[in-house]
Amino acid sequence: MGEKRKVAVAMSGGVDSSLSALLLKKEGYEVLGVSFLLFDGQEKALWHAKGIAENLEIPHTIIDLRETFKKEIIVAFLQGYSQGKTPNPCALCNRIIKFGIVAEFVKRDFGAEFYATGHYVRKGEYKGYLLFRVSKNLAKDQSYFLALVKGEVIEHLLFPVGEFESKEEVKKLAEKNGLKGFQKSESQDVCFFMGKTLKEFLKEHLGEKEGEIIYQGKVVGRHRGIHFYTIGQRKGLNLPLGKPVYVIKLEAETNRVYLGEEKELEKKEFYLEDINFQLPFAFWERPLAQIRYRTEKIQVKDIVREGEAWKVILERSAKRITPGQVCAFYESDFLLGGGIIKD
């Protein structure tokens, strides 16, 4: 018999990554678990992961990445909000930490040929190895959050739970195989909030900075910080203007929040920075753009490089194009790459 192929599984202590490790072991891989400490207070989850690895009889390693995570993700997140942007820390973490530093670490230090996670996404061949959306349960699809991951790592990635129809199916199979003790609660919040709301987290780290709210050229109110607002926001404005109004612009230089009508949120053009091509741009044919998670994809008319940025021109208008958010590109269900919306 030949030597088993080695795979490192990113284990968070949750059911998705735990079942991924189990399934890969059953398939005959030599499996090792790896967890990463990203911030204080995360230790309990990692002990869950360690216990599950012991139960599966696979080696387990914890990597301390708190310093890097703070600098590259948390500080960047806070800087983005202070500049009037709405950053996506999960997409950045996937590129820099999970599929960057950790993927390189397990390849270099453990000699792992493959790296697996519990993401709901699939891998296939389309002019090369690409990620593509889960077809059976699009509500669970996580491909959008992987749009910034470098294309060269995709060939070595595995996503064992990407083929399952539902989370319930994953849980049942885990329980059937005796997997217990995993983190059962699923939070939709950013992991490093540690139970705080977005507003609470921003207030704790950025404080308050009062400024003007502008509508039709006039000051109509005061705000406590542009970081508490996002493009397209309607709720929580608490301004009796007699009709629905929306946040259409956040201006860090003047510390102003600008309001307008819903139609003013519609744009056909925007700029991307930090663009990432998982499929080389020369092979793109008819890309679709997704400007926020779970929003409708829109046909792209053209993408043009202008200096360091890329100008995206859509076939029709989109609402709430928000600086700091990720724009992911697809052809059919295949992910082509993505970038960060600049303005």
- Which residue numbers are catalytic? 93, 191
Q: How many CB atoms lie within 10 A of CB 110?
A: 16
- Rounded to the nearest 5 degrees, what angle is found at the Cα of 79, between the Cα atoms of 73 and 248? 115
* Cα distance between residue 44 and residue 301, in whole Å: 48
Gap between the Cα atoms of 317 and 295, Å rounded: 13
> In Å, what is the CA distance from 338 to each residue of 279, 290, 292, 329?
10, 9, 11, 6
Task: List Cα–Cα distances, 281 to 285, 295, 298, 310, in angstroms.
Answer: 9, 23, 18, 12
| CA dist., res. 174 & res. 194, Å (int) | 26
Q: What is the largest CA-CA distance in the chain?
A: 77
**Which pair of structure tokens corresponds to residue 197?**
């709301």
CB 121 within 8 A of CB 299: no
